[in-house]
Amino acid sequence: MKLYTLLSENEELVAVEAANGQMISVETLGVNAADMNELIDRWEDFGGLLKEKLAELNADENAAADKALKDYKVLAPIPRPKQDVVCLGVNYFDHMKEAAAGIDFVKKAETIYFSKRVSRANDPDGLIPMYDFVDSLDYEAELGVIIGKDAFHVSKENAGEYIFGYTVINDVSGRNVQKRHQQWYLGKSLDGYTPMGPCIVTADEIRDAHDLAIRCSVNGELRQNSNTKYMITSVEEAVAELSQGMTLQKGTVIATGTPAGVAMGMNPPVWLKSGDEVCCEIEKIGVLRNVVS
C-alpha cells in the first residue's frame, strides 16, 4: 500500500492510493486513525482491514471514483515524527570517498549514527529555507525506513519483521554549520531541512529494499545516481545494531545515508541557491520535489 498524509479542506488526514491512482481517505474505509503515527501504532488492528477494504474498492471502479478525494495537498507522510530521526552517516562506499575529501573526516570501520531534530517534516513541494547563516546548503537523497513494531534486541535475521515501510528523505544539510559545531546535529536539524515523502510504501510491497535505484537532480541535472545495494550497513544490520540496547519505538524513522554526488563532493562544490529545484527519487516509492526559498 502507498500511504499518504494529505491536507484536504484544512484537515490533515491519512489516505491510501487506489489502483487507479486516486486518493482514498482511510476513514471512509472504516479505519479511524487520526494521523499516520496512530495508523502505525495500531497497524495490528488496522492493517488487515485496510488491505481488505482497499481490495474491495479496487475491484469496483465506480466505488473508488465515488470515494476519491478531489482536492488535496500532499504533506510529509509523518509530519511530526515522535522522536528525532535516526540517521546513518557516510553509508555508501562512493559517498565515503567524496565526504572524506570534502571534510575533515576519517573513515571509521563502525557505522556512524547521528540524529536529526524534525519538529515538522517538510512536505513534498515544501520550500527548503535559505538561512542567512548557511553558506553551503546541500542535499542528500536517502531511503527512509519506518519501524512498525517496538524493536529491542532484534537480530539481523528478524529485523525485517519490524519494518513498517519506506519513504524518501532529503537529509538537507548546512555544511558550514555541520562542520563548525563538530557534531552534525545542528547543521542538519534546522526547520525545513527534512523533506519527506511523497508516501510510505508498506514493506510488503518492496521485495528487496537493497535493490532500488536512488537519484537526486538539481534543476534537472542528475547529481546522485546510485542504488541502495551499495549501502555499507544494510537496513537489517542497522536495526539489529541500534536495537541491541535501545528500543526503536514504532513510528521511528531511520534515514539510511546518501550515495555520492552531493554538492560537498563536487570540485568546486555547487551549493544549493534560492530557486533551485531538488528532486530526490527512489524506485517504487516516488519523487520528493522541493524548491529552495
Sites of contact with Mg ion (CB under 5 A): 140, 171, 258
Residue number of the CB atom closest to Mg ion? 171
Q: Which long-range CB contacts under 8 A does 104-111 form with residues at least 24 apart?
A: 104/179, 111/232, 111/233, 111/237, 111/238, 111/241
What Å distances lie between residue 160 and 37, 165, 267, CA to CA? 19, 10, 39
Largest Cα separation within the chain, whole Å, is 59
* Distance of closest approach, residue 181 Cβ to Mg ion, in angstroms: 16
Query: Least distance in Å: CB of 235 to Mg ion?
Result: 15
Q: Which is nearer to Mg ion, 53 or 188 (CB)?
A: 188
* Of 231, 141, 259, nearest in space to 194 by CA: 141
Supply the minimum distance, in Å, between the C-beta of residue 171 and Mg ion.
Answer: 3
In the complex with Mg ion, the residue whose CB is nearer, 29 or 262, is 262
Compute the least distance from the CB of residue 116 to Mg ion, in Å.
8
Q: Considering just the CA atoms, what is the radius of gyration of the chain in Å? A: 19
Read off the C-alpha cell for 9: 479542506
Which residue do the cell numbers 531541512 mark? Answer: 193
Nearer to Mg ion, 18 or 231 (CB): 231
CB of 256 to Mg ion, least distance (A): 8
* Closer to Mg ion by Cβ: residue 92 or 162: 92
Q: Counting Cβ atoms within 10 Å, is residue 208 exposed (0-12), middle (13-18) or buried (19+)?
A: exposed
Q: Which is nearer to Mg ion, 68 or 260 (CB)?
A: 260
